[in-house]
Structure 1
């Protein structure tokens, strides 16, 4: 029995990196988007609310779009064989 330690190590590193990106990276991006979205909103004592900075809102929306795109691409990547089998559409 011949064990290829280099391919085992390479696969392990790929799994760890993917876990860090998708397991911690996407929630971190989402949290940063929420924080940016809330930046600058303030309520005065009389009850009026002033809107936050427009640039931070636009950046927050861009971050949310990245997170949503990553989730959609991930789901499509996982289900690509089923989509090909049932619908005849080759994705990747």
Structure 2
């Protein structure tokens, strides 16, 4: 029996990288988006005055959330591409 170690290592590396990107990367991006959202939000100080938030941080949060949503949509479409093609006749990827 001949074992192809290079293809085993290659496949394992691809699964590991995809797991890190989607398993830890998207939640990390979402967390950064929440932190940026908080920095861009106006808040009340102890003396009752309201401090305006950072507009650039709020816009950056929108961009980060859009990237996360786009990654989720692309992932779902990639997983269901054969079903969509079969039932609807739409070829995606």
Structure-1-length-normalised TM-score: 0.92
Please give the alpha-carbon distance, in whole angstroms, between the structure 2 residues aligned to 1:8 and 1:72.
Answer: 30
RMSD between superposed Cα atoms in Å: 1.4
Displaced runs of 4+ in structure 1, greater than 2 A? 44-51
Equivalent pairs counted in the alignment come to 92
Please give the alpha-carbon distance, in whole angstroms, between the structure 2 residues aligned to 1:87 and 1:47.
Answer: 57
Structure 2 stretches lacking a partner, 5+ long: none
Q: Identify the range of structure 1 (43-52 vs 7-16) with the bigger mean alpha-carbon deviation.
A: 43-52
Superposition map of 1:10-49 within 5 A = 10-39=10-39, 41-45=42-46, 47-49=48-50
2:46 is equivalent to residue 60 of structure 1 = no
Structure 1 stretches lacking a partner, 5+ long: none
